[in-house]
Amino acid sequence: MIERAYTQGQQLGFDVWCEDEAGPFQTMPLPGTSWQAAGQPARYPHEYVRNGTAKLLTLFHPCDGTVRVRGVTRCPNQVLLPWLQAELAAIVETLPKPAELSPAQCRALWESWQGGLQVRITLPTAPPPLRMLLILDNLVGHKNPAFVRWCFAAGIMPLYTPLGGSWLNMAESIQRILKRRALEGAQPTTADEIIAWLEAVAAAWNRHPTAFEWGGKRRARRLRQRNRRHAQGGSGAYTRQPIRRRRCAPDKWRWS
Phi, psi of 59 (to 5 degrees): -120, 125
**Homologous superfamily (CATH) for 2-29+46-207:** Ribonuclease H-like superfamily/Ribonuclease H (3.30.420.10)
Supply the DSSP string of 59-85, one letter for each residue: EE-TTT--EEEEEES---HHHHHHHHH
pLDDT of amino acid 233: 67
Q: Residue 171: which of 21, 9, 64 has the closest Cα? A: 21
pLDDT band with cut points at 50, 70 and 90 for residue 201: very high
pLDDT tens digits, 84-112: 999 999 998 888 887 777 778 777 777 77
Q: Which residues contact 53 (CB under 8 A, 6 or more apart)?
A: 23, 24, 25, 26, 27, 73, 191
> What average pLDDT does the chain have?
81
The Cβ of residue 116 has, within 10 Å, a number of other Cβ atoms equal to: 6
Distance (Å, rounded) from C-alpha 180 to C-alpha 192? 17
| Residue ranges per structural domain of the chain | 2-29+46-207
Sign of CA dihedral 85, 90, 92, 97: positive
Q: What is the pLDDT of residues 135-173, one digit of tens each?
A: 898 888 888 888 988 998 888 888 888 888 788 888 888
Question: How far apart, in Å, are the Cα atoms of 175 and each of 15, 212, 223?
Answer: 20, 13, 28
Give the helix ranges, DSSP H, for 16-159.
77-94, 103-111, 145-153
Cα–Cα distance, 45 to 30 (Å, whole number): 9
What is the distance between the alpha carbons of residues 26 and 7, in angstroms, rounded to a whole number? 36
Cα of 138 vs its chain's centroid, Å? 12
